[in-house]
Structure 1
């Protein structure tokens, strides 16, 4: 992604800013499929595309490509242009998320991105069209969010491989989850044809772009950094919005992402959370046991995030 430029491609998009060159910037793929799905990583990826368990993550805070240089400045609620240069088409789809972090010296947890899954071309996913070259799309930024440093995360889940079940521990589509459940029946167990392209473990690519959202953001400085911004009060939307009309379920109340907190992660727990909540209202999610089952018995802390 070169507009806005992700950290691994900043050297290419903003050549005058002195960002270290990353000649493999098109291949930031969570350590590769074998590493991503090993016994340690369990299908997880670093928040900005590094291998999840890597001791040094070059694209997160402290890494050589996380320089704090802003890729672009926007306004709250803006429908932004996103441009991606596709050099090897792996089919599949792209998803976008936003974390209002405001601290380039640290890296956020996965939960920050789960709270702000963004719409792309008025849908939850951008399905990759055939062929290579320029791919253009529109991504909707949330209303009421301003930030000196928002991290725009793009995740490209490829669709080349044939299988059943979720594509990774972090990205799943309902058709692949249903496909996995059906294969547990005796009838379908021996039918390899029931698996489908794009389901089961897939290669995953990811990147992070540092952007600024608000009237205080720099617009006339090519290599502006987060730390250069001295004015403006970053804000986030209220956590408890007013009660909606009972006759209508607003889109914002439908769970579009769910997962277990990183420090308590397990494949089973994450899968249970998604099965209980994805596509359901918050009330239905709670009735399915969200509050009752995944609570730390020592502290009472909820272990899952929606």
Structure 2
């Protein structure tokens, strides 16, 4: 018993700062195709994998957002401060577990689908500015096409040389920039 809540904080304007809980609390995500913000867990679900579809805000597109999941366990007896109802999982005495992930959201202004709880979108990544081979030496242009980069790899993007500092596979929207500091560093 218990429930999950999910939050989102756009930190594009402060790439070298951590997301604050205040920022995360300002954008609690809704469960897809509903107005609910809490996804309840029941004993009937057993130990199986739980998949939750969320509705991303249509006005958010970010290179660096922090996504937070929060699980409040419903294993303590308590009293709901709003309704006065008593029972397991009610009240403020429950254990809470949280985790965060740095994510990128590309697209935006995509309407929610009414026939499916999944929303997909695609946008074209900005194209790198071409530079002459003579200025690059043997450093290749960055590619969004599923290239597996390892720490130490060098690429050119928009006329700037970058070094990979964290192994990853490229995808459209994850181009080298000051915002993708976790993966790339300008050389």
| TM-score class normalised by the smaller sequence | 0.5 to 0.7
Quick one: distance in 1 between partners of 2:18 and 2:100? 11
Deviation by residue 1:77-114 (Cα, 9 ceiling, x = unmatched): xxxxxxxxxxxxxx110011100013553212222112
Find the partner of 1:125 among 38, 41, 44: 38
Matches within 5 A, 1:1-306: 91-102=1-12, 103=14, 105-121=16-32, 122=34, 123-129=36-42, 130-164=45-79, 176-179=80-83, 182=84, 195-200=86-91, 201-214=93-106, 215=123, 216=125, 220=146, 223=168, 228-230=175-177
Call closer, same or farther: CA 1:231–1:178 in 2, change over 3 Å.
closer
What's the secondary structure of 1:212's corresponding residue? Answer: strand
Higher helix share: 1
Gaps of 5+ in 1: 1-90, 165-175, 183-193, 233-306
Deviation by residue 1:59-80 (Cα, 9 ceiling, x = unmatched): xxxxxxxxxxxxxxxxxxxxxx
Call closer, same or farther: CA 1:107–1:119 in 2, change over 3 Å.
same
Cα pair 2:19 2:66 within 8 Å, conserved:
no
Q: TM-score, normalised by structure 2?
A: 0.54
Cα RMSD between the aligned structures?
Answer: 3.0
Higher strand share: 2
Partner residue, 1:172: none
What is the number of equivalent residue pairs in this alignment?
A: 118
Q: CA shift at 1:220, angstroms?
A: 2.7
Q: CA shift at 1:177, angstroms?
A: 1.4
Say which structure, 1 or 2, has more relative contact order (CA 8 Å, 6+ apart). Answer: 1
Partner residue, 1:16: none
**Structure number with bigger Rg:** 2
Deviation by residue 1:243-272 (Cα, 9 ceiling, x = unmatched): xxxxxxxxxxxxxxxxxxxxxxxxxxxxxx
Q: Please list every run of at least 4 consecutive aligned residues from structure 1 whose deviation after the TM superposition is greater than 4 angstroms.
A: 224-228
Call closer, same or farther: CA 1:219–1:95 in 2, change over 3 Å.
farther
